[in-house]
Amino acid sequence: MHVVTTHKNTDFDGFASVVAVNLLFPEAYALLPKTLNPNVKAFLSIHKDLFKTHTCGEIDLKRIQRLIVVDTSSWNRLDRLDGLKNRKDLDIQVWDHHIERGTICADQSCIEPVGATTTLLVRELKRQHKLLTPMQATLLIAGIYEDTGNLTFPATTAEDAYAAGWLLERKADLNILNSFLRPAYSETHKAILFKMLQHAKRTKIKGHCISINQVPIDGHVDNLAVVVRMYLEILNVDAAFGVFAESQKNRCTVIGRSQVESINVGSLMRSMGGGGHPRAGSAQIKGASPEAVERWILELVRGNQQASVQISDLMSFPVQTVTAETSMEEVALILRTRGITGIPVVDGERLVGMISRRDFRKMRKEAQIRSPVRAFMTADVLTVEPGKSPTQAAQLMVRHDIGRLPVVKDDQVIGIITRSDVMRYFYDLLPD
């Protein structure tokens, strides 16, 4: 089975790229995430008979032989496909226009700095002389127009314009396009924008004026990017960030917009585990207060990657370790009595794995509690060096959804830093 998929909160570029791959590989199942951009959802509700798509629950992941990923190159942006991460027999192909390296190790990739991923796939459609219906051409041009701002964003290239022209020759309908690319602005959006303007503040960093606004929201609100864009324009700042906090779900959605090349919002959001483009991006942060998230954004905007505070200043030491032959029963006792969630596994002084509370879920029989740690530990362990900054540690934790990092120097574990250590630093210790 061949499957093509894209990132969560799918936009038109992601959806159009999935459809373009389907035109190139008709045997591939089009797998869409559960969460779609509202405009994409509206488009699909009307045209679902023309575009056959599936969800993750309809696919047996074990049957997948080839995975084609479009408009992202990071596992954490895919929907419920973590089970494929460690498959050695899986053929992976990536098409993306974000040139920053992601976490997916692909067998084949086409990653180029054009305005939209759809543009790269249109090039291949042209090369193979594929036939398109007017509606397929319309969807593909929507992908290009959305990500290039109708060919006006600075990241737009000549190839994006050539691709759009080729699609117009194939009867792409701009009237349909304009209907679905026009963002909705509701009474809820108006109330949120009013609240943001009431509490607006500006901060000067390296000659740039930015504004970060914390807004509590009750449940999910679609298309908050519209609010942030209007907030940016009204305040006329160089960059604006909305930190939308859902207290019930203990998470913050961060949306950023920039008007200057020197503040690359997409890069900042990737550092927080999200993604985007130089002028626009977003991320979702779990388990952190809005205040901590705001401090994190300020740190990233300052570009303080080599902060005076280093991992060695925050890490805990000496580190409790176990060997690969230690029993799971003994590990459970250590975790419980010391009140920790994970322990490095060492061979002598060399790190060989990590065992955490989460690994106990792998046990299927009661007798396995007496098995050695090596049977259940995670062998591929992410580590951090003592001279790195808390920001870099936070990036790894968010990107890979882990709660602790062994601190390693000369192949020896000299300390450990947790998510709590990092967030405490951002919340309490950052200089004004």
Range 412-425 burial, b when 16+ CB lie within 10 A, else e:
ebbbbbbbebbbeb
CB atoms closer than 10 angstroms to residue 393:
26
3-state secondary structure of 41: helix
223 burial via Cβ count (<10 Å: 0-12, 13-18, 19+):
middle
- What is the sign, positive or negative, of the torsion defined by CA atoms of 356, 360, 363, 367? positive
Class (C level, CATH) for 2-181: alpha beta
Q: Answer whether CATH 3.10.580.10 is correct for domain 311-429.
A: yes
Tens digit of pLDDT for each residue in 224-258?
888 998 999 999 999 999 999 998 888 899 999 99
Q: What percent of the chain has pLDDT over 90?
A: 47
pLDDT for 43: 86
pLDDT for 262: 80
pLDDT for 391: 72
Beta bridge partners of 323: 346
CA distance linking residue 223 with residue 249, whole number of Å: 19
Tens digit of pLDDT for each residue in 8-57?
989 999 999 999 999 999 999 999 998 888 888 888 877 877 888 888 87
DSSP 123-178: HHHHHTT----HHHHHHHHHHHHHHHTTTTSTT--HHHHHHHHHHHHTT--HHHHH
CA distance linking residue 277 with residue 257, whole number of Å: 9
DSSP 22-33: HHH-TTSEEE--
Give the Å distances, CA to CA, from 15 to 6, 72, 142: 7, 12, 10
pLDDT digit of tens for each residue in the chain (432 aa)? 899 999 998 999 999 999 999 999 999 999 999 888 888 888 887 787 788 888 887 888 888 999 999 999 989 889 888 888 888 889 999 999 988 778 898 899 999 999 999 999 999 999 999 999 999 999 999 999 998 888 988 789 999 999 999 999 999 988 877 777 766 667 889 999 999 999 999 999 888 899 999 999 988 787 788 899 899 999 999 999 999 999 888 889 999 999 887 888 888 888 888 877 778 889 888 888 899 999 999 988 887 433 446 788 788 888 889 999 999 999 999 999 888 888 999 988 889 999 988 889 888 888 899 999 999 999 889 999 988 877 778 878 877 878 889 999 888 899 999 887 877 666 544 333
Per-residue HEC secondary structure of 243-282 comes to EEEECCCCEEEEEEEECCCCCCHHHHHHHCCCEEECCEEE
pLDDT for 431: 34
CB 275, CB 267: distance < 8 Å: no
Residue written as token pair 């498959």: 87
114 burial via Cβ count (<10 Å: 0-12, 13-18, 19+):
buried
- What is the sign, positive or negative, of the torsion defined by CA atoms of 75, 76, 78, 84? positive
Return the H-helix or E-strand segment holding 121: helix 117-127
pLDDT for 55: 84
Domain ranges in the chain are 2-181, 187-302, 311-429
pLDDT for 367: 87
Pair type for strands 350-356 and 322-323? unpaired
CB 11, CB 40: distance < 8 Å: yes
pLDDT for 186: 76
The CATH T-level fold of domain 187-302 is Diaminopimelate Epimerase; Chain A, domain 1 (3.10.310)
